[in-house]
A and B are shown apart, each in its own frame.
Chain A
Amino acid sequence: MKNTSGNLSVNMMAILGIAIMFISPIFPGFISVSETRISEPIPVRLATVSVVAFLAIVATTFLTLIFSLYSRRNLLSFLMGITGGLLPVAGFAVAGLSAGRLAEATGPFARVSPSSGLWLAVLAGYVIVFAAMRTLEDNKIMRGLLVLVPVVAITALLLSGLLADLSIMKEFANRRERFFSEFARHMMICAGAVGFGAIIGIPLGVFSNRSARVEKPVFAFVNFIQTVPGVALFGLLVAPLAYLSRAFPVLRQLGIGGIGWAPAMIALVLYSLLPITRNTYASLKAIPADTVEAGVGMGMSKRQVLFRIEIPISLPIVLAGVRTAAIQAVGNTAMAAIIGAGGLGVFIFQGLGQAAMDLVLLGAIPVVLLALFVDGLIQLLIGIVTPRGVLEKTDDKT
């Protein structure tokens, strides 16, 4: 794909994303309006909504195209990813700003929703960001920012009230309190799962590295856990925990039972173990014995060996495992709503039950944003703590 003559190069994946991005504003429906919550939605073109916005989006897409032609240079590739990632955010802003006007013109119960064109822009943005990340393989800081910038922008937009007239935000407004409490719960379950996963998984990795007798059963166990589907693991834990909580009332008082947060937390901790244990193990294997001996031989103390050699080499790899575990936990926590653990999954399952798409999105969109946010943030962190010399080794070995 890389063109050795001159700076121009064709990044096929970016071109694909940009092509989709060009289609999105001319698509028959950028947003849609329906007279009531259940009536047939009528598609509206972007140019109909606002000519200025249409021109601005097309022009920015052109700019992205130009950046993409120079995507062998890190900075321009980064800029391509940033404009590509912000374009759908701009699309939402336009939709939100015009929603009030459109709804008024349609009727008192009118609902305005994003439509195929806008969703295409989201897809395109995703592809472009992904293409940019691929060319920035060894710059974790830029990679992290590529994800964080659009995620923070869209979150700010959602919280700003500019989108208040969009249908999904009406759903949000109706459930504001509940939304924030479930969101907080979701975060807590994830943080708990990854936190405990790290507290258990890192030592497991360390001991596995020290002795082959520990390594075999540990990896047999964590690998096995990973093969059990999420819902099944939740289910499997219900019976024994229900039994325990009946047998020991203390547990019941603590809120530990067959359903609720306890089985969810246990399952999620178990899921976090594999990536964290495996990466800790791999990170320690990545420290050459010679390197440690050289340090000792030149008169480093145990502490100096730990802080100047072992941790700098292994930390980025351990963090890569934490990243995988965290992204996974954000998604799996949504599933945990099935056994009454709460969290954003509550809206998804409620919405599915009532066939209310907006409600499903109220749960699903924040889950996606949260997963992306966690991903970007940890990548950024890895980029900051990684010494240049071990960069190429930090990629997760899934």
Chain B
Amino acid sequence: MIKLEGITKRYDDRTLAVDNVSLEIPSNQLTVLIGPSGCGKTTTLKMINRIISPTSGKILIDGRDISTVDAKELRRGIGYVIQNIGLFPHMTVRENIATVPRLLKWEKSRTQLRLDQLLELVGLEPSVFSDKLPRELSGGQAQRVGVARALAADPPIVLMDEPFGAVDPLTRVKLQDEFVRIQKELSKTIVFVTHDIDEAIRLADRIGVMKDGKVLQYDSAEDILASPKNKFVHDFMGSDRALKRLSRRSVNEFMEQSKPLFVSKGWEQLKEVKESFVWAVDEEGKLIGWIHVSDFKEGKHLSEMLTELSDDEMLSAESTVKEALSRMLESGTMALPVIGKEKEFLGQISMYKIQEITRNG
């Protein structure tokens, strides 16, 4: 755990960049510091690895006051992705990533092994990228190398200052998704600075909202979205706060059970249906469409009443509730089916249920 106790930073020119901040940053979670430009995010982050020393207050890592530890030792144990990446222009990708292992005097073979591992982890093919220079990389590739460099010596703590700042929105979402996967695998203690609220919501376990050097609210991402403490936080979360909350919930959690109809079997199944419609599957349980109960006429085969569904009208269990809502609005229905990897029918999610979520939190 990283604990900030009454941290204040006043620069030499009297700028009060950080004002009496106290935070407990839990281990193995991703904590986002967010706020408008100039609110003191970078300053706060840089005090954790002692690039900047606080004017007053102290910082403890696992109970140890960091000002009592040798700064170089401290830093070698904390991964760091600086704002604007800061790759060494005269070193290859390989040499850049090997910086901390080299400082820690790792054996060549160990470093080598680790390098390939890391490049794979961040999605760069080692044989292609190892010997490239930073100037031969695209923005997104450079960001990946920056992340790999920070993770090189497998530090328990990683500080990241707008690591995906300088890339186009599409690449950014891709990098974020990959990063979520990496964090799931590694469970590092990450302090992540950004001013992009969507990024924060996509990645954060906890969020600290900063303004003018102060932390206005520090809570789990869900709680901040559900109950912003004041107008600034409320406005900062945006007018689509409800949608943002839905983007953090997966369909999985709110799926309702529903018994599907086997199209190949007899019409007697319809007797048990209480709703006005029912999802229809083939003999293997794979979803194929739905049937309006009122369309039923004696003697008609079930397959004749079937309305088929396009892929856009089926949700995977991992999709977010926000996505589900968007699909419903698109197809103009009040409910959508949820399917597994093999298209097997799992259940359904309905507009009614979503309203319930947004109302109750």
Contacts and interface: CB of A to CB of B under 8 A. Distances in A.
A312 B71 CA distance: 24
Given A297-B80, A299-B100, A304-B103, A290 B72 contact: no
A301 B72 contact: yes
B51 A312 contact: no
A288 B89 contact: yes
B76 A299 contact: yes
A290 B92 CA distance: 17
Nearest to B136: A389
Contact of B89 (A293, A295, A298, A389): A389
B304 to A, nearest CB: 63
A309 B86 CA distance: 12
A294 B99 CA distance: 10
Contacts of A213: none
Q: Which of the listed residues B83, B89, B149 has the most CB atoms from chain A within 10 Å of its own CB?
A: B89
B72 A291 contact: no
Given A297-B75, A299-B72, A312 B85 contact: no
Contacts of B221: none
Interface string B157-173: 00000000000000000
B208 interface: no
A298 to B, nearest CB: 5
A312 B88 CA distance: 10
Interface in A268-301: 288, 290-291, 293-301
A297 B74 CA distance: 10
A290 B134 contact: no
B82 interface: yes
A390 B51 contact: no
A290 B73 contact: no
Interface string A182-200: 0000000000000000000
B103 A296 contact: no
Contacts of A304: 103
Given A299-B75, A313-B90, A290 B84 contact: yes
A390 B89 contact: yes
A382 to B, nearest CB: 14
Nearest to A312: B90
A308 B95 CA distance: 11
B91 to A, nearest CB: 6
A297 B103 CA distance: 12
A304 B75 CA distance: 14
B89 A297 contact: no
B247 interface: no
Interface string B23-51: 00000000000000000000000100101
Interface residues of A, number: 21
Contact of B86 (A293, A313, A390): A293
Nearest to B71: A299
Contact of A298 (B80, B92, B133): B80
A388 interface: yes
Nearest to A300: B103
A389 B135 contact: yes
A240 interface: no
A288 B90 CA distance: 11
B76 A298 contact: yes
Contacts of B84: 290
Contacts of A295: 88, 99
A387 interface: yes
B135 to A, nearest CB: 7
Interface in A370-394: 387-390
Interface string B47-63: 00101000000000000
Contacts of B49: 297
A309 B89 CA distance: 9
Given A290-B82, A293-B82, A294-B80, A299 B88 contact: no
B318 to A, nearest CB: 36
A132 to B, nearest CB: 25
A389 B90 contact: yes
Contact of B82 (A294, A299, A309, A312): A294
Contacts of B135: 389
A300 B72 contact: yes
Contacts of A313: 89-90
A288 B76 contact: no
A287 to B, nearest CB: 9
B87 interface: yes
A309 B75 CA distance: 17
Contacts of B87: 291, 294
Given A298-B103, A299-B73, A389 B82 contact: no
21 contacts: A290-B82, A294-B86, A294-B88, A297-B46, A297-B49, A297-B75, A297-B80, A298-B75, A298-B100, A299-B72, A299-B74, A301-B72, A304-B103, A308-B88, A312-B90, A313-B90, A387-B91, A389-B88, A389-B92, A389-B133, A390-B90
In the complex, the 6 A-B pairs of residues with the closest C-beta atoms, listed nearest first: A290-B86, A294-B86, A299-B75, A299-B76, A387-B90, A389-B90
Given A294-B86, A296-B51, 20 more contacts: A288-B86, A290-B82, A290-B84, A291-B87, A293-B51, A293-B82, A293-B86, A294-B80, A295-B99, A296-B75, A297-B49, A298-B80, A299-B72, A299-B73, A300-B103, A304-B103, A308-B88, A388-B92, A389-B92, A390-B90
